Structure 1
Amino acid sequence: MTIDEVVLLLKASQATGLTTLQELILRSSWEGKTYTNIASEAHYCEEHVKKVATHLWEVLSNFCKEPINKSTFRQTLENYRLSKAHQQLVKEFNKAATAISLEFPSGPVSLNSRLYIPRPSIEELAYAEMSELGSVICIKAPKKMGKSSLILRLLVRANNQGFHTVTLDFQQADKAVFASLDKFLCWFCTKVSRELQLEPKLNDYWDEDMGSKVSCSIYFQEYLLSALSSPLVLVLNEVDWVFEYQEIAGELLSLIRTWREQAKSVEIWQKLRLILVYSTEILVPRKLTQSPFNIGLTINLPPFTKEQVQDLALRHGLDWTDGKDAESLMAMVGGYPYLVRLAFYHLVGKGGLEGDLEQLLQQAPTETGIYNEYLRQFVLALGDELEVGNAFYEVINATNSVNLEPVLAYKLQSMGLINLEGDRCTPVCELYRLYFRQYLKKTENFNSGCFNCEFRCG
C-alpha cells in the first residue's frame, strides 16, 4: 500500500472520515517525522497528537490483524495488500465522493484533491534541489502534463520552510513590455517588488550607462535580496512566451546563468532559488533550440505509468485492478495525464454511473469524441507551421518510424506529438495517428497551405 491508499482506506471505513490532524499524523509518520515535529506543525500539544495517533494505530492494527505502532507503521503497511473487501470499500467511497464533487481536468490539481497522482521521485528531487543555495530548476513538459500541479506543491513546501515565494507568469505581461530589454527588465523587477510587498525603487538602482542587465542584477542584490531575511523562491512560469522575442529571451537566460554563477561565490545570491517552467508545445526559435535551459536541474515530466492510471481509476471509483481497461485506455492515449483524466471524467458521471470505455475509445479519434476540441488546437498550430505539419504528416502515415530533419523532429517532440528515440520518430499515441490521419486525408492541398484554412473556417 501507499500512504494515499492508507488514507483512502481510513476515510472510507470511518463513519466520520479523517480529521485534518489525523491525516497529518499519518502522512508525517510515514515520512518518519517525530511526534514533536508533528505537534509543532499542527500547533497542538504533543500529548494530544500522541493520543490521536494511538487511536489510528489501533484502527490499522484491526485492519491488518497484527500490531501496528508508529515505528512499524510504514514497514507493515507498505507490504500489506488490500483485501477484496477493502478494495470494494475504497471503490464505493471513491465513487460516492466523485459523484458529489467530480473535478473537470482543467488547471492544477488542488492540494486537497483525491485525484492528484503523486510522483514521489520527481517531487523529492525538486524539493531537495529547491533547498540548495542559489539553485535553478527547469521544469519541462508539454501543456497539461502536470507542471502547474507540481509547482503548486513546490510553493507549499517553500512556504512551510519559511521561504518567500513569488510567481511571475509571462502570459500576463502586455505586449508593450517586450518592446525592449530595458522595458522588460524594468517590468520584471517592478513585478517582483510588488509581489514581495516592497515599494519599487528602480530609479535608485537603474543606470543606463551600465545597461539593463547589470542594473537588474544590482537591484536584486542590493535591494530585493537584501530586504529578505529568508530565501526567495522565484517561479518564472510560461517562460517560452518570451521566445517570440529572441533577443530578450537570450538575454534573460544569460542573466539567469550569471546569477547562478554568482551564487557560488557571493553569499547574498544564495538566497535566490529560481524555477523556470516552460511548455515545450510552443515552437522554439531556431537560435534557441540548442539547449537554452542547460542552466540547472532539468526535470522532464513523464506520462503516467500503467500503475498510476490504475491508481487514478481507483480514485474515480473504478475497479481496474486486472489492468485490462488501463491497457486499453493507454493503447489509445498513452499515459498523458490530461487525456487520461478527461477519459475518467466522462466515464464517471455526476450520478456515479460508469460510462462505456469501449464506446469512448471508438469515438475518441472522431469529431464526436471527447478529445476533438483539444486536438483541433494542434490542427491550427500545424497549419501555421506548414513545414512542421508536412513532417508530422509523414510520421503518422508511415508504417515504421521516420527519420526527420533534426529541427523538425525537435519541434514535433516539443509539441508533444511524437516520440523521438535517437533519430527515429513515431506518434506519441494511437489517438494522434488516427485523428490526424483522418483529417490529413480530407485535405488534399495540405502541402500548399490549405490545411490550416480548412479548420479555421470549417
Structure 2
Amino acid sequence: MDKLLQSVKKILQDKPLDPIQWFVLYQSWLGKTYGEMAEVSGYGNNYIKEVGSELWQDLSIALGERITKKNLHLALNKHLQDEIDNQKNQIQEKFGKESNLEMISPDFFSASKIEFPSGPVALNSPFYINRPSLEELVCNEVLQPGCLIRLKAPRKMGKSSLLNRMIAYAKEQDYQTVYLDFQEADRDIFVSLDKFLRWFCVNVSRQLNLLPCVDDFWDIEMGSKVSCKIYFEAYLLQYIDDNPVVLALNEVHRIFEYPNIAQDFLPMLRFWHEQAKQDRTWQKLRMVVVHTTEIYIPLKLNQSPFNVGITITLPPFTLKQVQSLALRYGLNWAGNSEGAKRLAPLQAMVGGHPYLVSLAFYHLCQEGMTLEVLLETASTPVGIYGQHLRELLTLLQKEPELMSAMEQVIATDEKVELNAIAAYKLESMGLVQLNGNQASAMCELYRLYFSQQFGKQNNANVYREFTS
C-alpha cells in the first residue's frame, strides 16, 4: 500500500490526498463497496461516493484516461508497468542493450504491485525470470514446420509460464493458437478413445473459430484415430489459411492414467509429426506437449512421441537467478556477494524451486520476518510453506503406495530404487528427483518435513500396538 500511495502521489503531484481520500482509495483498492466504506467510517454513503467521484476525476485528468473504481487496479498497474518500461529504456540507452539490468538497478522492479505467487507468471510481470537459452530454443523451434516440442518439469516449476510466452511469440508471428488443458476435461471424457478424440476435435474447432462438424468426418469402420486424422487434414488444416497453427497441449500427464487412451493418442501425435516430413498440409501444425513426468505406460519406441522432436526440461533456479528474483522483489540487500551468501541456504533448502523461492521472497518483502527465521521455521507447520507441505502430505495419504515409496526415499541419504509408476508419480508431484528409477528427495525442505511426519506416524503406530 505504501507503493500505491507513492505512485498516486507522483500522478497527482501538487494535489496531495487528504485522509478521507486516502481512505476511499485504500478501500477501493481492496474491493470494498461505498456502502461498506460508509459503514466502517461513520461518513454518509453519498459523501463517500462524492469523495470517490472527485478522486477518480483527478486521476483521470492526471493520467489522460478514464479512471473509475472498477478499473482502478488495471489502470494503476498499467501506469506502474509503463514507468518500469520507461526506466528500462533509459537504462538500455545509457548502458547498452546487453547491460545486466538487475545489477544496475537493484530496486528496478520494486514499484510493481506484488501479488501472492500463484499460477503462471503474467506475461507483463517483472517477476518472470528469463532463462534465455530455453526461451530462445522454444521460440526458434516453434517456427519450424511440423515441429513437436515437449516441455517437462514437476508441478509449479514454470512450465505454463514458459508456454504462455511461447504462445504470445507465436501470435506475434500471426500464427493461430489452440490451448487445451487436459485437467479441464471431465472424467467421463476418458471413458473411451472415441469420446476423447471427439472432445479433442470439438475443442480445437471452437478455438479456431470453426463450426465443429465431427459427425461429417467420423466413420466407425475406419476407427477413431483415422477419423480424427481426416478431420484435421481435410477440415481444420484446410480452413486456417496458410498461417501455421500452434497446438499447445497442457497437463498431458493426465492421459497417462488412462492406458486405453494413451496407447492410441500419443502414437497418433507422433504419426502427425512424422507426416509433416512429407506433407505440406501437416507442416502447418506445430505441436507443444506439456507434462510433469516421464510416461509410465508401455509404448514401443517407434510409437512414443517422447523420443522425437525436441525435449525441454525446466531446471531449478541457479543462485544467480535466485539473486535476480530477490532484487525484483525489492530485497536490495541481495544485490552483492554478501547477499548471494545469505541466499545460498535458501536455495539449498528449496532446491532452487521457482515457486518455493518466489513464496519466500513474497513473505520477506512484506517485512514480516527475516530470512533466518524463515529458514528456521520452513519445515514446520507454522512456517511459510505449511499449507504447501500439508497439501503434498494429503496427496500422499490418498495413495498408500506413494506414501510407502516416499518413506523409503526419506529413510536414507542414498538413492532408492522405486517401481517406475511410483517413481514417476512422485517426480510429477515434485517430491523427488530421479536418475532412472532411483529417487532422492527433491530438496532439504521435503526431507525435513516428511521425516517429521513419518516419525510422528510411526510413533502413533507403536503407541497403538502397545496399548491394544
Task: Normalising by structure 2, report the TM-score.
Answer: 0.74
1:70 is matched with none
How far apart are the structure 1 equivalents of 2:256 and 2:392? 19
2:320 is matched with 307
Q: Which amino acid aligns with 2:394?
A: L
Q: Which amino acid aligns with 1:127?
A: C
1:366 is matched with 380
How far apart are the structure 1 equivalents of 2:257 and 2:439? 26
Q: Residue 330 of structure 1: CA displacement? A: 1.0
Uncovered stretches (5+) of structure 2, i.e. residues with no partner: 1-12, 14-62, 64-78
Question: Please, which of 263, 268, 290 is the counterpart of residue 250 of structure 1?
Answer: 263
Q: Secondary structure at the match of 2:307?
A: coil
Q: Secondary structure at the match of 1:277?
A: strand
How far apart are the structure 2 equivalents of 1:22 and 1:439? 45
Question: Please, which of 261, 278, 292 is the counterpart of residue 274 of structure 2?
Answer: 261
Question: Please, which of 169, 176, 189 is the counterpart of residue 188 of structure 2?
Answer: 176
* Pair member with larger Rg: 2
1:196 is matched with 208
Q: Which amino acid aligns with 2:362?
A: Y
Work out whether residues 395 and 401 of structure 1, in 8 Å CA contact, stay in contact via their aligned partners in 2.
yes
Q: Secondary structure at the match of 1:443?
A: helix
Q: Residue 418 of structure 1: CA displacement? A: 2.0
Change (3 A) 1:278 1:446: farther
Say yes or no: does 1:287 pair with 2:304.
no
1:328 is matched with 345
Q: Residue 209 of structure 1: CA displacement? A: 0.9
How far apart are the structure 1 equivalents of 2:102 and 2:231? 56
Work out whether residues 390 and 447 of structure 1, in 8 Å CA contact, stay in contact via their aligned partners in 2.
no
1:116 is matched with 128
Q: Secondary structure at the match of 1:298?
A: strand
1:382 is matched with 396
Change (3 A) 1:407 1:241: closer
Q: Which amino acid aligns with 2:365?
A: V
Question: Please, which of 221, 239, 257 is the counterpart of residue 227 of structure 1?
Answer: 239
Q: Secondary structure at the match of 1:412?
A: helix
Q: Residue 394 of structure 1: CA displacement? A: 2.2
Q: Residue 222 of structure 1: CA displacement? A: 0.6
Work out whether residues 182 and 251 of structure 2, in 8 Å CA contact, stay in contact via their aligned partners in 1.
yes
How far apart are the structure 2 equivalents of 1:383 and 1:26? 48
1:48-447 alignment runs, 5 A limit? 56=90, 60-61=93-94, 73-74=96-97, 77=99, 87=105, 90-91=106-107, 93-95=108-110, 97-98=111-112, 101-229=113-241, 230-280=243-293, 285-287=296-298, 293-318=306-331, 319-320=333-334, 321-322=336-337, 323-349=340-366, 353=367, 355-405=369-419, 407-421=421-435, 424-444=438-458
Q: Residue 22 of structure 1: CA displacement? A: 10
Work out whether residues 263 and 297 of structure 2, in 8 Å CA contact, stay in contact via their aligned partners in 1.
no
1:26-41 alignment runs, 5 A limit? none
Q: Secondary structure at the match of 2:306?
A: coil
How far apart are the structure 2 equivalents of 1:341 and 1:407? 30
Q: Residue 202 of structure 1: CA displacement? A: 1.5
What is the count of residue pairs matched by the alignment? Answer: 380
Q: Which amino acid aligns with 1:365?
A: S
Uncovered stretches (5+) of structure 1, i.e. residues with no partner: 1-14, 28-55, 65-72, 451-458
How far apart are the structure 1 equivalents of 2:126 and 2:117? 13
How far apart are the structure 1 equivalents of 2:450 and 2:409? 10
Change (3 A) 1:236 1:422: closer
Work out whether residues 136 and 275 of structure 1, in 8 Å CA contact, stay in contact via their aligned partners in 2.
yes
Change (3 A) 1:268 1:371: same
Change (3 A) 1:26 1:348: closer
Work out whether residues 386 and 447 of structure 1, in 8 Å CA contact, stay in contact via their aligned partners in 2.
no
Q: String of CA shifts for 1:22-71, please: whole Å, max 9, x gaps.
A: 959978xxxxxxxxxxxxxxxxxxxxxxxxxxxx58x844xx5xxxxxxx
Change (3 A) 1:174 1:407: closer
Pick which of 106-115 and 423-432 moved more: 423-432
Identical positions, percent: 48
2:55 is matched with none
How far apart are the structure 1 equivalents of 2:300 and 2:280? 33
Change (3 A) 1:387 1:286: farther
How far apart are the structure 2 equivalents of 1:168 and 1:288? 23
How far apart are the structure 2 equivalents of 1:180 and 1:387? 27
Q: Residue 405 of structure 1: CA displacement? A: 4.6
Cα RMSD between the aligned structures? Answer: 3.1
Work out whether residues 440 and 446 of structure 1, in 8 Å CA contact, stay in contact via their aligned partners in 2.
no
How far apart are the structure 2 equivalents of 1:175 and 1:368? 36
Change (3 A) 1:24 1:160: farther
Q: Secondary structure at the match of 2:439?
A: strand
Change (3 A) 1:404 1:326: same
Q: String of CA shifts for 1:408-447, please: whole Å, max 9, x gaps.
A: 4444333322233466532111101110000000112899
